[in-house]
């Protein structure tokens, strides 16, 4: 492979004369020579990426090839064929994503619309975060909650009662709150309700409700030393603020 042969192929790419299979095949066959002659930076810029579509690889490679030719003072016309193809592909992708978002909003509305007035911010976030792998089960009857209170020998705080009346089980990304698993635990000489798990600092962090001040904590067991860390002033604040912020990171 000579520099002149690279110039000819880069020129064809710049002019929009190659299809994806031609470009990828040629690059794969001659990649060592391309890196040696054009340099590492240009090689990485023109290199087709596995995560890119055919048309995007053509467009990105075209721009890098054109820049290299320009640096060698070689004049060539730059075709907009690949650019238009990439713009159309991206536009189609955006339209498809909007359609998926509308379908998700409709599904969330049908399944969990009853949460809209109670936890409005959490409900809005569900329309962006919810997937079929997530689990949200409707709440418990008042009698079942009373039975749990007798089992634990406590009266559940009002904000927890409201939650469990509406949601008995919640399993999202790194979040697991299950009414059936509700227990009382003493951690570092303080009594908490163990609500489940919230993987904020590490996998398996326990989600704790402080029975003295109604604040929400996690037990960061991977910290040295392990410690309970306050993350919300109330359970409602946890749902509407902390959890919403957490879920946004996984959209």
d(CA 109, CA 35): 54
pLDDT digits (tens, 9 = 90+) for 90-141: 999 999 988 887 888 888 899 999 999 999 999 999 988 898 889 999 999 9
Give how far Cα 201 sits from Cα of 132, 197, 219, 239, Å.
26, 11, 9, 17
Q: What angle do CA 181, 184, 188 make, to 5 degrees?
A: 125
Q: Is residue 131 part of a domain?
A: yes
145 in any annotated domain: yes
Q: Does one domain contain both 76 and 123?
A: no
Which are the contacts of 155, defined by CB distance < 8 A and separation ≥ 6? 149
Residues 134 and 29 in one domain: no
CATH label of the domain that carries residue 167: 3.40.1580.10
**Same domain (yes/no): 138, 213:** yes
Q: Do 36 and 159 fall within a single domain?
A: no
Asked if residue 18 belongs to a domain, the reply is: yes
Selection from 167, 106, 176, 116 nearest residue 137 by Cα: 167
Domain residues for the domain of 191 are 116-248
Q: How would you write the pLDDT of the chain (251 residues) with one tens digit per residue?
A: 899 999 999 999 999 999 999 999 999 999 999 999 999 999 999 999 998 999 999 999 999 999 999 999 999 999 999 999 999 999 999 999 888 878 888 888 999 999 999 999 999 999 888 988 899 999 999 999 999 999 999 999 999 999 999 999 999 989 999 999 999 998 888 899 999 999 988 888 999 999 899 999 999 877 678 788 999 999 999 999 999 999 998 76
138 lies in some domain: yes
CB 155 within 8 A of CB 149: yes
DSSP 134-164: -EEEE---HHHHHHHHHHHTS---HHHHHHH
Asked if residue 142 and residue 26 are part of one domain, the reply reads no
120 lies in some domain: yes
Dihedral over Cα of 209, 244, 125, 198: its sign: negative
| Domain contains 235 | yes
Alpha carbon separation from 110 to 32, 113, 115, 123, 132 (Å, rounded): 56, 6, 11, 12, 14
The pTM (predicted TM-score) of the whole model is: 0.64
Final residue of a domain: which of 62, 84, 106? 84
Instruction: Please give the tally of structural domains in the chain.
Output: 2
- Residue 194 and residue 183: Cα distance in Å, rounded? 5
């Amino acid at each position: 492979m000579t520099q002149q042969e690279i110039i000819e192929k880069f020129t064809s790419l710049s002019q929009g004369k190659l299809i994806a299979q031609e470009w990828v095949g040629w690059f794969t066959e001659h990649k060592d020579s391309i890196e040696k002659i054009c340099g590492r930076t240009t090689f990485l810029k023109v290199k087709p990426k596995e995560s890119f579509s055919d048309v995007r690889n053509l467009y990105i490679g075209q721009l890098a090839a054109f820049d290299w030719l320009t640096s060698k003072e070689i004049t060539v016309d730059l075709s907009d064929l690949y650019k238009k193809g990439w713009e159309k592909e991206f536009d189609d992708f955006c339209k498809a994503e909007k359609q998926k978002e509308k379908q998700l909003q409709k599904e969330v509305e049908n399944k969990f619309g009853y949460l809209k007035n109670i936890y409005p911010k959490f409900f809005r976030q569900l329309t962006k975060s919810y997937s079929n792998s997530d689990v949200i089960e409707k709440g418990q009857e008042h009698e079942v909650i009373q039975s749990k209170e007798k089992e634990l020998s406590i009266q559940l705080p009002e904000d927890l009662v409201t939650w469990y009346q509406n949601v008995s089980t919640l399993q999202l990304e790194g979040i697991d709150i299950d009414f059936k698993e509700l227990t009382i635990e003493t951690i570092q000489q303080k009594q908490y309700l163990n609500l489940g798990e919230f993987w904020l600092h590490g996998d398996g962090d326990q989600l704790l409700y402080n029975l003295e001040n109604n604040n929400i904590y996690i037990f960061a067991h991977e910290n040295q030393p392990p410690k309970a860390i306050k993350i919300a002033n109330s359970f409602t604040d946890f749902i509407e603020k902390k959890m919403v912020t957490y879920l946004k990171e996984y959209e």
